[in-house]
């Protein structure tokens, strides 16, 4: 590839005398071992526009975004900025052209303040400024886009939504004109999403361009001026957004068939109590993270735990899984005590667990899919790897995991496909028969086709008599799947209702701490 950096780009989007695109990709291709992640992709974005990249897990969205910001270089094809061909050899080079990517996994330094994080890596000799003027400048940039942040706050103390705001302010402070947001809403609660969308409007009003990636089709319809659909690394469609299309159309374009995400509830009467939680409290460093939690989950029943992140969900799940010991109270699985017995014991009692923190606890990035699938199998049995291969291959097929076979390393999977491996392992129950399934946000980051599959598998597990505890911030998901809904607020159960008759307004109010008491 030539290194000339100021050839005039020609491409499908600006023939004639039209203004050049702010940023464009021209027939870019990118190959990873065994996969053509981008195959002659054309893409462009105009000033003041929100252009969404949509596609199934592994379709090539993050790869394209990475080439647009200088993180990866195309194998062939090229990138142009304002119609001029550019070579973006690194993210820093991208930034020099006013392009910044906000990654889903934030790259902030926890113990630094907001302002320190924002100026970190800036080249304009910020260190000669005193702390006060730095704080002022950071606030100024933030407020001009309606992104209020406290420059003196320590990043480690911030919520996920606030951290994301810091990342965006950092990009703007560094002079970004084009922001690439890779699944920014996957980690946000509904109120934070609304706020982010207001910020996006403020930025596009000011002439900035936004490349947006999301699997949430409702959001895509709401925020996008244009949508480009990728499938298997190729562009397969263009749609205009903002009400000109609906979520059903987008789903069909993405996966090539209709998707049904309707209501599914227990079709059989429920059986014995599988999980019993009695008066469980958990105190961490003097803070009551869980207070007197009591509930049961029966055979063939799915109980949903709704709540805004950080209200004790993660600790509740880890306590049930034996990773945390409750300060008081008891837990039993299948009639046997699980309190203080540790995670291996919990598994032996028939627990399968899909934790919140996938890569930290669920998957080992440096291991293959096959070895990750074997990870939680019964330790007393010497596993014959060869005999498990066909099963691994079958799971890869069943879960539509985009990989070149069982030996594919976990860290080389796209975000959604890594998640599918974890779900495949826990839902396939290859070891001790699963009695209790505890799943945290099982469909976060998955494309609509995969969401449909996972929901069906959860429903099948329920029909087969497993007890399921579904912990999710996705209220729609809980409302459409759970037989019973409990709302966790500040470590206590603030509301309980049957799924069938649950009112979204009432559940939402309880999540916000606006009601107390248990009824229904
Ligand atoms: N660093 C890498 N090494 C090897 N293969 C990779 C690498 N990054 C991505 N791939 C592969 O390239 C393809 C496209 O991945 P990409 O991450 O762009 O998908 P995506 O559309 O962002 O998916 P998701 O919605 O799951 O995040 C996938 O098959 C993935 O396994
Ligand atoms: Mg991705």
Q: Ligand 1, closest atom to CA 418?
A: 26
Q: How far is the CA of 514 from the centre of ligand 1 (A)?
A: 42
The full 3-state SS of 81-150, as one line of letters, equals ECCEEECCCCHHHHHHCCEEEECCCCCCCCCCEHHHHHHCCCCCCHHHCCHHHHHHHHHHHHHHCCCCCC
Q: What is the pLDDT of residues 243-289, one digit of tens each?
A: 677 888 888 888 878 877 888 888 878 889 999 999 999 998 888 99
Q: Which residues are registered as beta bridge partners of 81?
A: 23, 84
C-alpha 433/C-alpha 231 separation (Å) is 37
Indicate where the chain has its CATH 3.40.50.300 domain(s).
51-69+104-255, 273-511
pLDDT over threshold 90, residue 445: no
| Ligand 1 atom at minimum distance from 61 CA | 21
Ligand nearest to the CA of 37: 1
Closest CA to 114 of 130, 143, 138: 138
Ligand 1 mutation pick, 25, 30, 32, 444, max ligand atoms within 8 A of CB: 32
Mean pLDDT for the stretch of residues 72-99: 96
Pick the CATH number of 51-69+104-255 from 3.40.50.300, 3.30.465.10, 3.30.1600.10, 1.20.140.10: 3.40.50.300
Average confidence (pLDDT) over 146-158: 86
Predicted confidence at residue 4, as pLDDT, reads 38
State the pLDDT at residue 359. 56
61 CB near ligand 1 (under 6 Å): yes
Of 93-97, 218-222, 443-447, least confident by mean pLDDT is 443-447
Least confident of 48-62, 108-122, 144-158, 374-388: 374-388
pLDDT of residue 380 exceeding 60, the answer is: no
Give the model's confidence band at 123: pLDDT under 50 very low, under 70 low, under 90 confident, else very high: low
Q: Say if residue 463's pLDDT is above 50.
A: yes
As a whole number, mean pLDDT of residues 134-155 equals 87
From the CB of 60, is ligand 1 less than 6 Å away?
yes
Per-residue pLDDT band for 378 (boundaries 50, 70, 90) equals low
Q: Which of 150, 128, 124, 146 is nearest to 138 (CA)?
A: 150
Share of the chain above pLDDT 90, in %: 46
Give burial (CB, 10 Å; 0-12/13-18/19+) of 130. exposed
By mean pLDDT, which of 39-48, 320-329, 384-393, 470-479 is the weakest?
Answer: 384-393
Question: What's the 106 CA to ligand 1 centre distance in angstroms?
Answer: 18
Q: Which fold has domain 273-511?
A: Rossmann fold (3.40.50)
Mean pLDDT: which of 243-247, 385-389, 492-496 is highest?
492-496
**CA 127 to ligand 2 centroid distance, Å:** 35
| Pocket residue to mutate for ligand 1, from 63, 181, 236, 402, most atoms within 8 A of Cβ | 63
Ligand 2 center from residue 280 Cα (angstroms): 38
Residues in the chain: 520
- Give the nearest ligand 1 atom to 230 CA: 21
Crossing angle for the helix pair 415-428 and 448-463, nearest 10 degrees?
A: 10
Smallest CA separation from ligand 1 atom 3, residue: 412
Residue 377 to residue 347: CA distance in whole angstroms: 10
pLDDT digits (tens, 9 = 90+) for 50-73: 999 999 989 999 999 999 999 999
Q: Is the CB of 79 under 6 A from ligand 1?
A: no
**Range of lowest pLDDT (62-66, 162-166, 348-352, 477-481):** 162-166
- Considering only CA atoms, which of 472, 418, 422 is closest in space to residue 104? 418
* CA–CA distances in Å: residue 445 to residues 192, 214, 337: 17, 8, 35
Confirm if 62 and 13 have CB atoms less than 8 A apart: no
Residue 321 has pLDDT above 80, yes or no: yes
| Closest ligand by atom to 401 CA | 1
Asked if the model's pLDDT at residue 310 lies above 90, the reply is no
Confirm whether pTM is higher than 0.75.
Answer: yes
pLDDT at 6: 43
pLDDT value, residue 309: 80
Rounded Cα distance between 323 and 333, Å, is 15
Main-chain dihedrals φ then ψ at residue 158, nearest 5 degrees = -90, 155
* Mean pLDDT on 106-113: 80
Least distant ligand from the CA of 402 = 1
Q: Residue 418: what pLDDT? A: 84
Give the pLDDT band of residue 106 (cuts 50, 70, 90).
low
Residue 82's Cβ-count burial label (10 Å; 0-12, 13-18, 19+) is middle
pLDDT digits 0-9 by tens, 153-209: 998 888 777 888 899 999 998 889 999 999 988 877 777 888 889 999 999 999 999
Q: Are 354 and 310 within 8 A, CB to CB?
A: no
> What is the average per-residue pLDDT within 287-305?
96
**How many angstroms is it from 428 CA to the middle of ligand 2?**
25
Q: Could you identify the residue written with the tokens 């290194």?
A: 3
Supply the mean pLDDT for the chain.
Answer: 86
pLDDT reading at 312 higher than 80: yes
For ligand 1, atom 12, name the residue with the nearest CA: 37
List the one residue out of 388, 387, 416 whose CA is nearest residue 401: 416
């Amino acid at each position: 590839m030539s290194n000339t950096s100021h050839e005039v780009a020609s491409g499908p989007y600006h023939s004639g005398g039209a203004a050049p695109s702010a940023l464009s990709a021209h027939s870019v291709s990118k190959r990873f071992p065994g996969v053509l992640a981008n195959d002659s992709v054309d893409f462009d974005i105009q000033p003041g526009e929100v252009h969404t990249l949509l596609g199934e897990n592994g379709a090539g969205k993050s790869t394209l975004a990475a080439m647009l910001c200088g993180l990866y270089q195309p194998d062939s094809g090229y990138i142009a900025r304002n119609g001029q061909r550019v070579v973006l050899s690194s993210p820093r080079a991208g930034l020099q052209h006013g392009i910044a990517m906000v990654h889903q996994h934030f790259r902030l330094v926890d113990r630094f303040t907001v302002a320190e994080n924002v100026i970190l890596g800036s080249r304009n000799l910020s260190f000669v400024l005193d702390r006060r003027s730095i704080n002022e400048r950071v606030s100024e940039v933030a407020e001009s886009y309606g992104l209020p942040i406290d420059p003196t706050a320590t990043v480690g103390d911030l919520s996920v939504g606030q951290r994301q705001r810091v990342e965006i302010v950092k990009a703007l402070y560094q002079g970004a004109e084009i922001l690439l947001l890779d699944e920014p809403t996957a980690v946000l609660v509904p109120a934070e999403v609304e706020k982010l969308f207001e910020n996006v409007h403020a930025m596009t009003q000011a002439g900035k361009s936004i490349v947006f990636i999301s699997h949430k089709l409702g959001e895509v319809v709401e925020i996008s001026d244009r949508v480009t659909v990728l499938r298997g690394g190729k562009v397969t469609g263009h749609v205009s957004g903002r009400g000109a299309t609906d979520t059903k159309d987008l789903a069909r374009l993405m996966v090539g068939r209709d998707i049904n995400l309707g209501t599914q509830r227990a079709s059989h009467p429920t059986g014995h109590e599988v999980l019993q939680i009695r008066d469980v409290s958990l105190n961490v460093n003097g803070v009551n993270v869980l207070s007197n939690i009591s509930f049961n989950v029966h055979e063939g029943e799915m109980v949903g735990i709704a709540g805004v992140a950080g209200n004790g969900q993660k600790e509740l799940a880890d306590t049930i899984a034996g990773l945390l010991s409750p300060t008081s109270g008891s837990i039993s699985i299948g009639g046997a005590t699980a309190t203080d017995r540790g995670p291996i014991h919990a598994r032996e009692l028939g627990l399968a667990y899909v934790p919140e923190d996938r890569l930290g606890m669920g998957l080992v990035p440096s291991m293959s899919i096959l070895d990750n699938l074997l990870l939680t199998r019964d330790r007393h049995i010497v596993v014959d790897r060869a005999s498990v291969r066909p099963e691994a291959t079958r799971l890869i097929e069943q879960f539509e995991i985009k990989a070149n076979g069982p030996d594919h390393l976990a860290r080389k999977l796209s975000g959604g496909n890594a998640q599918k491996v974890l779900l495949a392992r826990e839902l396939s129950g290859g070891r001790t028969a699963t009695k209790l399934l505890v799943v945290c946000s099982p469909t976060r980051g998955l494309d609509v086709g995969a969401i449909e599959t996972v929901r069906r598998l959860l429903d099948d597990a329920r029909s087969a008599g497993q007890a399921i505890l579904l912990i999710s911030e996705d209220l729609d998901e809980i409302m459409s799947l759970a037989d019973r809904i409990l709302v966790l607020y500040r470590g206590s159960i603030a509301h309980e209702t049957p799924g069938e008759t649950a009112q979204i307004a009432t559940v939402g109010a309880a999540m916000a701490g606006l009601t107390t008491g248990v009824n229904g």
